[in-house]
């Protein structure tokens, strides 16, 4: 929806809104309009009951299986097992409730950025009213420091500047002019005659008429976009849901087969039902939701140590399969600190080093350090930069008085002026020190017409005027030039050289200011603009919001990991392109598209080229949302970073939204899945690595648990088919499930990442959790465990001359130790525990030892022997058990260490 008021003349706006610029509305008319338009507040149309969110957690297929397993365990008298499973279900439901409920608080955060009071004119009198009572047609008075209370068409302005970073993401204040009438091609980001709700008046004053209130404002439309942005299941949630549904079918089939075979053989139906149900419970990996939760929670703790706060557990895993990272520019890829990078003085370029607002840095000419002692022109330029300036450089919130100490630095005031002040401080020029000997006696302020600012200082020699402003404007008023310590008239050639240098710096997306001075007579009129003529040109200062130093390397890592980085900014195309080039982004795709071009593009055309575009400039919140949705429509898993309100809808719409912790607004933080506490883009790469490690660990867990469960099922199923007694009774099956699905499996989820985790391309969003031969490994190992356990059972029957309890105890121990050996094979996705280190996971060692102790207690303690129907085993029995169970793991390790490398070399030679 276009903002029609920006395209209308002031008289047309006043007539359309039926208001008076001097008297405003009457109180009676204001009340009528309040009834018609409603309160000037943002509404959340999607209020969801916490109870409804909690109940929604029980719709997942795996959770329904676990609830069924709880009921079955209770029927079997296994109340401890039932209570354990029920606890897992409730914990997961509570976690889901907390995550989803917090995500719906975005609109509340939006409300907090809106002004609470407004100065209006009603019945011809200026008064202060609650901002929520503003109506279209109200006349609002604006001054420096005010937060704009609604969308306002400006009627009068005087040096009015507005910081719109909350909407546009750009920190440099924008000059406003009520006289301008915008053409319809101008987007909302460039409407100079409009002040938007939630933005901040940084300078000057003005008066305007309320055009839009509440949800009809620009911020309101963003709130609407946040509400429209959907919550999608993560790739992991989709895969686990698929696993759960398959297990339902598998459990039903196994129950039916085992029960029918047993009944056909004459075994009582009740006993066979219990056996079938026990197998079904064994086949269900009830530890799966718990291990996923624990693995993600551990990942959250690791990320917190890396300065990333994860608000939604699945976010870490989602980052692991991210294919595109869409990043805001200002404050994310750049430092959101205007910094003077280059100074042109004495016919030469000087580069300034040093980070951020710290007044510590070097001046480099031709790569070598220079000093103020060597350049009178540089010293003069920095003096002008410090004196023709109203910004302040502060340390830990305290104004500096010429003292340099190690501390945290920041600037107060206009960012451009702050950059000049910092540059001067890096050269040892402090305004506070100069003003001990010189006194400011006059200021001729900057405005959008003059495009320059001047101040007059008096010292022992006389009075001097110092000027800074747009290079073309200042140069027109210069008659002389300071070069290499001497003053001479500016020739035509020198003027052209200065203008060419200005263009060269501007082409690098830098903001360029010219600095000049002159001595003035004490009798001169203080307000006479003729003072600003016959100036001595000193030089140019070029500044830019510099890229974060770590970003370039982070983008390289993204590219190596198969992840595209896309810049999305509200800034100008030239600035965006220059930053993209500096950080190396354009090496991986150089196309730059503006919001205006995007608006003219059809959905079909945009979908065709979206994967070729690396930089989007001058885009609106709606454009950002469209970009995210189109990328998702192409099958990408998209991460979106942002800090301003303008980023919030896209942050929420993305598969994973990432907010900046320092510069980020509350709105964006509430809409995000993860917050970067240090606003560091490279932290995202650490999060991506952690996400891949977590997904690998979950696959290892699934490989381990399902193979073990298949082994348990195969033992009983094969025994039924060939006419043997039950190798395991129901209570033994449930114990095996509890012991091996418990601590060892949980510890497997805490494995460290494998060395090549960030050298692989992202997995496809539609990739099965069983890809890469995982299903084959699970089934083959499960069958092997089943056959091995059944073989030991038959051998126990033969050696024990039909002693069923001995054979069952041997089978019982064989099944447990098969699984405890196998857990070490699952440490590596390639099957060799030595690849990741056999003892690299101390939690796994402790878990396995605990399981061994528990199993020995069941076999040798009389109390448990009665419950589990076990008998003590002798050394021969244990030799058989350990030989059968350990052989597979040992042979696999030998294969990985010897035969597999040989086979790889043979294949590579043939190729």
The residues that are catalytic are 328
- Measuring CA to CA, which residue among 371, 382, 340 is closest to residue 357? 340
* Residues contacting residue 130 through CB under 8 Å, at least 6 positions apart: 116, 117, 118
* Whole-number Cα distances in Å, 582 to 154, 324, 557: 38, 20, 16
- 232's tokens: 């999608």
- Measuring CA to CA, which residue among 200, 219, 168 is closest to residue 667? 219
- 90's tokens: 């409730």
Contact criterion met (CB below 8 Å) for 235 and 179: no
- For tokens 């370029």, the residue is 349
- 702's tokens: 């699934």
Q: Strand 638-642 relative to strand 324-328: parallel, antiparallel, unpaired?
A: parallel
* Whole-number Cα distances in Å, 759 to 18, 216, 554, 724: 65, 48, 14, 51
Q: Whole-angstrom distance between the N-terminal and C-terminal Cα of the chain?
A: 61
- For tokens 């937060």, the residue is 147
Rounded to 5 degrees, what angle do the CA atoms 591, 549, 559 make? 45
Rounded to 5 degrees, what angle do the CA atoms 546, 548, 554 make? 140
What is the SS3 assignment for 659? strand
- Measuring CA to CA, which residue among 853, 651, 688, 858 is closest to residue 321? 688
Q: What share of the chain is helix, strand, coil (3-state, %, to 5)?
A: 50, 20, 30
Q: Compute the half-sphere exposure of residue 495: CA atoms within 13 Å on the CB side of its CA.
A: 13
d(CA 249, CA 799): 38
Contact criterion met (CB below 8 Å) for 140 and 207: yes
Burial class (CB in 10 A: 0-12, 13-18, 19+), 785: buried
d(CA 689, CA 474): 52
Q: Strand 564-568 relative to strand 613-617: parallel, antiparallel, unpaired?
A: parallel
Contact criterion met (CB below 8 Å) for 82 and 74: yes
Rounded to 5 degrees, what angle do the CA atoms 328, 332, 335 make? 130
* Whole-number Cα distances in Å, 403 to 251, 371, 398, 419, 428: 76, 20, 11, 18, 10
Continuous segment of H or E residues that includes residue 441? strand 439-444
d(CA 278, CA 265): 19
Angle between helices 730-740 and 79-103 (to 10 degrees): 40
Q: Strand 564-568 relative to strand 324-328: parallel, antiparallel, unpaired?
A: parallel
Continuous segment of H or E residues that includes residue 650? helix 648-653
Contact criterion met (CB below 8 Å) for 735 and 854: no
Beta bridge partners of 130: 117
The alpha-helical segments, DSSP class H, found in 165-268 are 165-168, 218-228, 235-264
Contact criterion met (CB below 8 Å) for 827 and 833: yes
Three-state secondary structure of 571-616: CCHHHHHHHHHHCCHHHHCCEEEEHHHHHCCCHHHHHHHHHHEEEE
Continuous segment of H or E residues that includes residue 685? helix 682-722
């Amino acid at each position: 929806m276009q903002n029609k008021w920006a395209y209308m003349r002031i008289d047309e706006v006043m007539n359309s809104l039926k208001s008076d610029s001097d008297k405003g509305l009457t109180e009676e008319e204001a009340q009528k309009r309040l009834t018609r338009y409603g309160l000037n507040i943002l509404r959340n149309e999607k209020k969801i009951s916490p109870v409804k969110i909690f109940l929604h957690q029980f719709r997942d297929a795996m959770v329904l299986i676990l609830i069924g397993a709880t009921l079955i365990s209770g029927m079997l008298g296994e109340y401890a097992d039932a209570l354990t499973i029920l606890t897992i279900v409730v914990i997961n439901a509570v976690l889901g409730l907390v995550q989803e409920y917090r995500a719906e608080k975005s609109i509340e955060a939006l409300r907090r950025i809106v002004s609470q009071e407004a100065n209006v004119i009603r019945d011809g009198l200026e008064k202060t009213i609650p901002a929520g009572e503003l109506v279209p047609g109200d006349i609002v008075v604006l001054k420096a420091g005010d937060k704009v209370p609604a969308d306002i068409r400006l009627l009068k302005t005087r040096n009015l500047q507005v910081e719109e970073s909350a909407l546009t993401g750009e920190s440099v204040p924008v000059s406003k002019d009520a006289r301008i009438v915008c053409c319809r091609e101008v987007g909302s980001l460039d409407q100079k005659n409009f002040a938007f709700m939630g933005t901040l008046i940084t300078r000057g004053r003005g008066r305007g008429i309320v055009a839009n209130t509440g949800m009809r404002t620009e911020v309101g439309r963003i709130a609407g976009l946040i509400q429209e942005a959907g919550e999608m299941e993560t790739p992991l949630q989709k895969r686990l849901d698929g696993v759960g549904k398959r297990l339902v079918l598998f459990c039903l089939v196994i129950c039916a087969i085992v029960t029918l075979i047993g009944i056909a053989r004459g075994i009582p139906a009740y006993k066979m039902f219990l056996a079938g149900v026990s197998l079904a419970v064994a086949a269900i990996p009830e530890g799966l939701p718990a291990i996923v939760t624990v693995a993600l929670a551990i990942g959250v703790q690791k990320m917190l140590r890396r300065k990333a706060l994860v608000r939604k557990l699945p976010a870490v895993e989602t980052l692991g399969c991210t294919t595109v990272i869409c990043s805001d520019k200002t404050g994310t890829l750049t430092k959101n600190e205007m910094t003077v990078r280059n100074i042109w003085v004495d016919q030469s370029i000087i580069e300034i080093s040093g980070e951020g607002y710290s007044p510590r840095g070097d001046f480099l000419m031709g790569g070598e350090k220079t000093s103020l002692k060597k350049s009178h022109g540089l010293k003069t330029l920095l003096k002008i930069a410090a004196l023709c300036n109203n910004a302040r450089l502060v340390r830990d919130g305290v104004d500096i008085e010429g003292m340099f100490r190690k501390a945290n630095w920041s600037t107060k005031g206009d960012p451009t002026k702050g950059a000049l002040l910092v540059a001067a401080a890096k050269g040892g020029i402090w305004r506070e020190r100069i003003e001990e000997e010189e006194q400011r006696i006059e200021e001729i302020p900057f405005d959008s017409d003059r495009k320059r600012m001047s101040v007059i200082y008096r010292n022992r020699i006389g009075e001097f005027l110092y000027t800074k402003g747009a290079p073309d404007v200042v140069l027109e008023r210069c008659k002389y030039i300071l070069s290499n310590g001497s003053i001479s008239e500016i020739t035509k050639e020198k003027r052209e050289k200065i203008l060419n240098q200005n263009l060269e710096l501007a082409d690098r997306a830098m903001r360029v200011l010219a600095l000049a001075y002159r001595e003035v007579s004490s009798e001169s009129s203080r307000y006479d603009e003729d003072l600003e003529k016959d100036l001595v040109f000193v030089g140019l200062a070029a500044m830019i919001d510099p890229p974060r130093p770590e970003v370039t390397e982070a983008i390289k890592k993204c590219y190596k990991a198969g992840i595209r980085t896309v810049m999305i900014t509200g800034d100008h195309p030239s600035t965006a392109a220059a930053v993209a080039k500096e950080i190396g982004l354009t090496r991986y795709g150089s196309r730059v598209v503006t919001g205006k071009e995007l608006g003219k593009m059809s959905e079909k055309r945009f979908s065709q080229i979206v994967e070729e575009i690396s930089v989007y400039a001058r885009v609106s919140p709606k454009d950002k949302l469209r970009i995210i949705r189109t990328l998702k429509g192409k099958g990408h898993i998209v991460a979106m970073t942002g800090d301003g309100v303008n980023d919030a809808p896209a942050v929420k719409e993305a598969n994973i939204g990432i907010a900046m912790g320092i510069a980020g607004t509350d709105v964006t933080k509430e809409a995000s899945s993860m917050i970067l506490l240090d606003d560091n883009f490279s932290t995202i790469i650490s999060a991506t690595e952690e996400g891949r490690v977590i997904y690998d660990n979950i696959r290892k867990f699934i490989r381990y648990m399902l193979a073990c469960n298949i082994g348990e099922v195969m033992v009983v199923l094969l025994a039924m088919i060939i006419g043997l007694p039950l190798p395991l009774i129901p209570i033994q099956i449930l114990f095996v499930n509890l012991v091996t699905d418990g601590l060892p499996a949980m510890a497997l989820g805490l494995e460290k990442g494998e060395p090549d985790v960030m050298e692989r391309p992202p997995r496809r969003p539609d990739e099965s959790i069983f890809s890469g031969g995982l299903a084959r490994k699970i089934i083959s190992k499960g069958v092997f465990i089943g056959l091995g356990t059944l073989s030991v059972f038959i051998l126990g029957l033969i050696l024990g001359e039909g002693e069923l309890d001995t054979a069952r105890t041997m089978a019982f121990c064989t099944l447990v130790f098969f699984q405890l050996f196998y857990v070490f094979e699952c440490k590596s996705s390639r099957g060799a525990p030595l690849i990741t280190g056999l003892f690299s996971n101390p939690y796994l060692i402790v878990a396995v030892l605990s399981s061994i102790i528990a199993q020995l207690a069941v076999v040798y303690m009389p109390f448990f022997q009665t419950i589990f129907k076990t008998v003590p085993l002798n050394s021969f029995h244990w030799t058989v058990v350990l030989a059968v169970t350990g052989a597979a793991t040992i042979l696999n390790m030998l294969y990985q260490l010897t035969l597999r490398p040989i086979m790889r070399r043979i294949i590579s030679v043939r190729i």
